[in-house]
Amino acid sequence: MRKRVFGSIFLTALVMLLLSVSLMIVAIHFGLSGNARSRLEDECTSILRMTDGEDAPVLHEIGSGYADRITLVAADGTVLYDNEADPADMENHARRPEIEQAMATGVGTASRFSDTFTQQTYYYAKKADSGNILRLSATAASALSALSYASPWIMAVVLRALVGALLLASWLTYKFLAPVDTIDL
């Protein structure tokens, strides 16, 4: 009976620990992706105020020192400006989900994983009064990638929590069964 009580308490602690770690990772992922999207939205609005969505020298100046990617797309999908690639070498962007959405509603968002699932790119596109679409994109480590970097620390925490759960389960088993042990049959 002692083993069953100990096993039940320890299994409950283990399940709660794994569930808590999983939910924490999901919450962190959604928090970080929400921050990235919010930042892109704010920066896109600011850049549109300065450039009016035109291929102006101001856009080139901003793009030369900007850490993320800036792309200016014409209403037909032709790339007019990109701060990381030559627009002449780029394909038409009319079928990109964020561009299609921005053409239809004025604002478009999307996110895509890289082929290796180590990075996730967030896109925010906004239609300017001129009809052009300004798209900003930021790349960040995906939740899987971030987990792989943090896994030694997560494992250390989990192992410490398991040792704590073992000690707590042992103590609770003793406390729960102590009255039963004193019964004289």
pLDDT at residue number 62: 83
pLDDT at residue number 139: 83
Global pTM value: 0.68
**Per-residue CA distances from 33 to 9, 61, 63, 151 (Å):** 36, 27, 23, 20
pLDDT at residue number 108: 94
pLDDT at residue number 143: 63
pLDDT at residue number 23: 84
**Per-residue CA distances from 148 to 14, 23, 30, 145, 159 (Å):** 21, 16, 17, 5, 17
pLDDT at residue number 5: 83
**Per-residue CA distances from 132 to 1, 11, 81, 125, 138 (Å):** 73, 58, 11, 10, 20
Q: DSSP label at 184?
A: -
pLDDT 10s digit of each residue in the chain, 185 long? 778 888 888 888 888 888 887 888 777 777 777 778 888 899 888 888 888 777 667 888 888 878 788 999 999 999 999 888 888 899 999 999 999 999 999 999 998 876 655 678 899 999 998 899 999 998 876 666 666 777 788 788 888 888 888 888 888 888 888 888 778 77
pLDDT at residue number 109: 92
pLDDT at residue number 20: 85
pLDDT at residue number 177: 84
Which of 138, 135, 142 lies closest to 120 in space, CA to CA?
A: 142
- Upper half-sphere CA count for residue 177 (Cβ side, 13 Å): 14
Tell how strand 107-113 and strand 69-73 pair up.
unpaired
